[in-house]
Structure 1
């Protein structure tokens, strides 16, 4: 039997392993110690270097400049307001506490960077599922605002970190906070809390109450988003949040927070901005750069940027003149106009109201009922699903049954043809019975899908009233959708900015429009030819021909509250709207002013340009038809029209009452063939 080794035999092995482990730990500790020592020495040398280096001169850039489609300056984004300097010692403690609660509650406990703040922001944003809280300290924000652009690059972040350290080394905490409060942007051209207090409350910053302090402290996080004049509810909600934070931080009591929440705010009225060119378009540019491209608003306004736009200044001038001239005599009546190049989606003119100084609300983005101006989207879908220009439907009072319900539309002033009418006639006369019949025939889901493909983004419901434009959309959406039809079925998302260059000539925004085909050129062309009847005698938009005679197509739209016309040439799409802001009913004679505005503008906008007709694409065939029967016409027909069809859908039969006698059919067939090819 083999003898088992005793435990004493393993003792030397254990001792050896322990000694080896201790040796490893010693070497590791020694290495870490040297690493820490070297790191500390390098950090110390870096701090000494940064301390010895003077801070760069702050970047107080000039206002950002706007350039038109010819590369010429036509305006600036911010004239700027003189700051009202304030001393930290003179400010109410409530303002300082509110600012720290809103932006950096550990400001006096960190050295420029807050690890706790970063972790807290990550936790909040994960919990909320969106960016609710930032992680930048006040010192970091000051470094960025004083010395850097707001581009999101690693080099900028590294520079920001180094400048943050320098600020902490060169200035005391109170000095940094004072610089911050005099530098930060509070919206509407107000830089610094002194100017903001004067602008919003018409008082000195030193006299702000607790409620006012918390209110102002909430604005810099998003000056446009929390604008007191444009989004008061949002601003008050953020004020309440900051008051709760102040109570949580022990700066005020819960009772004081509650009392401040209930305090009425005596907001000063919005000051009338200085007159600038293309004001509504200017605001659109700012909004786009902030909300779509994520640029800081203060940088957009006063970052010395060169903003190249698609605006045509002569067209803009004509648009402003037309809207103001024809809505001006009627108090409270408003108008809007947007004009785009359908070949690129470039916005050439934008007017959001007749007087920017009175109202800065941009009605180009207002949601209104389009009425019959929505019908072309329906008829394009109809052409894609078997309808032709000569498809006939009875025009008479009709009650439609759908999904267990009924719907009884009516034509304007109960005017009906009381006979079958063609699609061309239905479009020209804006026949509602034809439209609803068509919608129910092709399917409401198909119509909604196509409208969204064309450029309509607003929600639409599958009800019969969809055919009559009962669901609200904006002129901006209508412009994109009509431009898709005018560009032979290719959708170009609307664009107002081509590129943005910073003061160092670096491109920070470059627009890259991605066109998408959503309809065939043949279907779009046939629809365009049908819509040309709207502007001819007998059409609802015939008044425009008194001023504008170029080849064009369009559609009017009238509701009890809105007057529209959406129309285009091969080179320019223009949407005009008139109405009242507060839901006041619009008399029919005022609704027609949209046509006057459109015609006046289009005449001026196209002056001096070549007269172009819509080119006939492949896949289209034109034939002479007998208007009475819808069949191929002969030289003997009384009422003949040359009509375009998508190839293969044109009529093949000859008008029966005009056939030649049987004695010479060959001659007659040759004559008809010759006539149809004219």
Structure 2
């Protein structure tokens, strides 16, 4: 009874299970619906996320216009000049950047770069904690990819719209590029201060070297600048720059990238910064740089914007050693306080390469390039073109003789006269030959030659040699009365130096775009415009200009190698145009406004030529001029121009094109034996004894 009552009482105290379950069912159904909804929501979210990512993957990134600095390089590959429109940038592949700079950048900017997918969640959480702790934005968490997206495609405005776009572009960058490609883009894009964008431009600006060559200390210094170029630039605040460098080095040590000893050593290193605004060659060859830009844009059709922003590379023919020698020779050749001007242009006759160019004494005050000025009378330096015409036409030989005395010439069918004079009215008052006329620069002989060969033929020869300045077929042309440019003269003499082979003067070898693809490639088509034997005979004759009694003899002691050339002097202009086997050089001195030269001023061209030639070729052993086939040397009697016999009191070894040497002998006895010059060894024997001694001494 008690037991049964107790059971009944217990049943009364609890509801049946069925009743209790019914009460929970609505709640369970709601929970179930909630889970189902959440599942569907999650599935839809996943599908949406996948669809969004698929959409981003198939969407092209916005076009980013990244200007790159274009470069001009000399013959040795040194950077001669740069072109950029506000942003000095030189994009390079990742392997062309020092590993120290890569590690320093990752250590201070994005330590988990190779582990995250564009967003560093740990970094974000850490930044939030730090910022909450300090109650202000103390630390950021932008990854390199986020920074790259912002720099490439967005502004730096602080809006949610910009942040959303940044996230979207960050995802796309991670989808479309590998980590190394993103890092390379970043290091070529980031701003390092003072107009330098990218690691290569920054390395050149701060340290004057390629990014590949940066040391650990230099890399740590550079890596700290993008955080705040105005605050961390060593040019603006060295203490801040050094403090940040030490932070970066210490972080690298803590990350195991370097040892603590390496960090301490780099922090203590004194860095050698480039003077701000300096260039690789300290502004060398400014006239040549202007000429290159003119050729690239006006002649080759390179777009100005491409030149300024396209990252192209222009490979030029400039020889830095020759250029330094040219600038030094001009600077020392004219007193500093003088207003006299000068121009020098030097061309390799073997290929037409322009090796050096000085268009004036002070580019900063006057950018006019006198090398191309067609306003200067060449004077007697034009005479070799006249004599080459006479030799080539067969009208004269080296022993053709005219009397050096005051002479009145008639022309234009006798209707006009011309009465030239020698310098200082100095005449031989006797018959002289072509070698004597060239050495002493006899005007009477030159005009006689012009009348013999005809001015039209001389103009035709000048055109073959590359002179296109206007000329009139009159006797005075023999004395260089029609203006030509130093550029034309150097080119013309270069053709003679090359044995009559003309190579078009060349300043640009090739132009490449930022990817290394060739936009322009120079092609040479040398042409034989003058017979090699006649060109050599003229070269032999012009060597006498530097012999005793020649107009260039005052600088002969300074020349330690075979040189051929010709001086030229007018009231306003003084020249020396000459060549070795390696260089053809024209030097002009005078005044821009046509002021008359004093005697001392007129003598400055030759020393400039001599100083330049020797310094530019100081590493090149002296060489004789190559002797072509068909050359013969015979001993002649200078007074008669006939073959010299044993009884002749005076003999001179003279060079002729085979078949044009004299056949008549002066005096009694047999003529001296002729020497056929077919190679350098025979040629050496054919020279006068003092030339042999000079060459032996310099070898």
Report TM bin, short chain.
Answer: 0.5 to 0.7
Render the CA deviation track for 1:569-620: whole Å, top value 9, x for unaligned.
1111111001111111111211110101001111101102121101221111
Deviation, structure 1 residue 59: 2.6
For 2:67 and 2:79, the matched residues in 1 are separated by 22
TM-score in terms of structure 1 length:
0.61
For 1:561 and 1:303, the matched residues in 2 are separated by 45
Aligned to 1:76: 81
Change (3 A) 1:81 1:52: closer
Choose the corresponding residue for 1:558, options 569, 578, 583.
Answer: 569
Q: Aligned to 1:603, what secondary structure does the other structure show?
A: helix
The alignment status of 1:352 with 2:362, answered yes or no, reads: no
Aligned to 1:295: 302
The alignment status of 1:361 with 2:372, answered yes or no, reads: no
Aligned to 1:180: none
Aligned to 2:654: 643
For 2:674 and 2:654, the matched residues in 1 are separated by 16
The alignment status of 1:373 with 2:373, answered yes or no, reads: no
For 1:344 and 1:82, the matched residues in 2 are separated by 37
For 1:299 and 1:594, the matched residues in 2 are separated by 40
Deviation, structure 1 residue 330: 4.1
Alignment of structure 1 residues 274-285 onto 2, 5 Å: 276-285=283-292
Aligned to 1:333: 340
Q: Is the 8 A contact 1:563 1:591 kept in 2?
A: yes
Alignment of structure 1 residues 592-607 onto 2, 5 Å: 592-607=603-618
For 1:302 and 1:321, the matched residues in 2 are separated by 34
Q: Is the 8 A contact 2:341 2:360 kept in 1?
A: yes
Choose the corresponding residue for 2:350, options 338, 343, 350.
Answer: 343
Choose the corresponding residue for 2:71, options 54, 57, 65.
Answer: 65
The alignment status of 1:483 with 2:494, answered yes or no, reads: yes
For 1:447 and 1:565, the matched residues in 2 are separated by 20
CA RMSD of aligned residues (A): 2.5
For 2:297 and 2:454, the matched residues in 1 are separated by 40
Q: Is the 8 A contact 2:352 2:506 kept in 1?
A: yes
Choose the corresponding residue for 2:405, options 386, 396, 403.
Answer: 396
For 2:309 and 2:411, the matched residues in 1 are separated by 57
Change (3 A) 1:392 1:273: farther
Change (3 A) 1:343 1:82: closer
Q: Is the 8 A contact 1:305 1:501 kept in 2?
A: yes
Render the CA deviation track for 1:116-165: whole Å, top value 9, x for unaligned.
xxxxxxxxxxxxxxxxxxxxxxxxxxxxxx99xxxxxxxxxxxxxxxxxx
TM-score in terms of structure 2 length:
0.59
Aligned to 1:306: 313
For 1:349 and 1:622, the matched residues in 2 are separated by 35
Alignment of structure 1 residues 171-570 onto 2, 5 Å: 276-367=283-374, 368-385=376-393, 386-403=395-412, 404-570=415-581
Number of aligned residues: 432
Render the CA deviation track for 1:9-43: whole Å, top value 9, x for unaligned.
xxxxxxxxxxxxxxxxxxxxxxxxxxxxxxxxxxx
Q: Is the 8 A contact 2:385 2:461 kept in 1?
A: yes
Q: Aligned to 2:367, what secondary structure does the other structure show?
A: coil
The structure with more radius of gyration: 2
Aligned to 2:107: none
For 1:676 and 1:82, the matched residues in 2 are separated by 64
Structure 1: gaps of 5 or more residues: 1-47, 84-145, 148-188, 190-271, 660-668
Q: Aligned to 2:435, what secondary structure does the other structure show?
A: helix
Choose the corresponding residue for 1:609, options 620, 623, 635.
Answer: 620
Deviation, structure 1 residue 627: 1.5
Change (3 A) 1:307 1:675: closer
Q: Aligned to 1:566, what secondary structure does the other structure show?
A: strand
Q: Is the 8 A contact 1:568 1:574 kept in 2?
A: yes
Structure 2: gaps of 5 or more residues: 1-54, 89-151, 154-194, 196-276, 678-685, 687-699
Q: Aligned to 1:658, what secondary structure does the other structure show?
A: coil
Q: Is the 8 A contact 1:624 1:675 kept in 2?
A: no
Q: Is the 8 A contact 2:631 2:676 kept in 1?
A: no
Q: Is the 8 A contact 1:273 1:357 kept in 2?
A: no
Q: Is the 8 A contact 2:342 2:359 kept in 1?
A: yes
